[in-house]
Amino acid sequence: MRAALWATVLCMVCGFAAAAEMRSVEVEYENKHYTMQSEAWFDAPIEQDNAVFRDWDLSTQFSSAIVESRGLGPDENGLSQYYIRNRGCVLFFCLTFERYGYIESEPVSVLRAFADPETSDFLLCDEKWTFAEEDGGTTVVYDLSMRPKFWVPPGIGPYVIKRKLKNDGGDAIDRIEAIAQRMSMAGDAVSYTHLRAHETKTRISYSVERE
């Protein structure tokens, strides 16, 4: 009985062994505008990886930079919304900044988030996650285009932000994978076919005046 119990525990540990791989991270800065693209591979099914990123309430579990995050449900026009509060430091300069925005999604394959500049600390913060099945797991390509409203110390500030964007992504992937693997074993995430059959696509026609 005890041997069987230990065998079960060992199988669970092996099942959660982190195999996530950060394949590439590129961060650029020009004229107060940051862009980033990363590619990571996760040892978890595409349905579960997608489910982790779509659940804004989970963000605090895998990103140390996010202190509060939640989905807000649809607005009066039926657009899905989100809220995120981050805290970050550049050298000795620390601040908290918020994003309120809208979500656009295609079942399993694409997720997009757009910050509303009128209610956020960013003139621009557009994000896109693209999911693809690969080698029994999932490849996730992340694109970010960001221009903050808040003051960033010149010179060293942009360098530190670029480094932090790279490091935060690398730190998060193992935790994202672990959550997705737990979902897969527990059956918490809906299947790909269920998503295709039941998810209502939210298409956003959303434009803002950008400086």
Tens of pLDDT, residue by residue over 114-150, are 999 999 999 999 999 999 999 899 999 999 999 999 8
Q: What is the pLDDT of residue 185?
A: 81
Cross-strand bridge partners of residue 137:
134
Helix (H, G, I), strand (E, B) or coil at 31: coil
Token pair recorded at residue 87 = 């805290």
How far is residue 8 from each of residues 1, 3, 16, 165, measured CA to CA in Å? 11, 9, 13, 38
The pLDDT value given to residue 187: 67
Q: Please answer whether residues 174 and 20 qualify as being in contact, where contact means their C-beta atoms are separated by less than 8 angstroms.
A: yes
What is the sign of the dihedral through the CA atoms of 192, 194, 197 and 200? negative
pTM beyond 0.95: the answer is: no
SS3 77: coil
Look up residue 150 and give its DSSP letter.
S
Show the tokens assigned to 207. 């434009």
186: Cβ–Cβ under 8 A, 6 or more apart, which residues? Answer: none
Mean pLDDT over 168-193 rounds to 75
Distances (CA, A) of 32 to 83, 109, 122, 125, 146: 23, 31, 11, 12, 9
pLDDT value, residue 18: 47
For residue 22, give the H/E element and its range: strand 21-30
CA 100 to CA 150: how far, in whole Å? 15
pLDDT score for 133: 96
Under a CB-based contact definition with an 8 Å cutoff, are residues 83 and 75 in contact? no
Would you say residue 173 has pLDDT above 80?
Answer: yes
SS3 136: coil
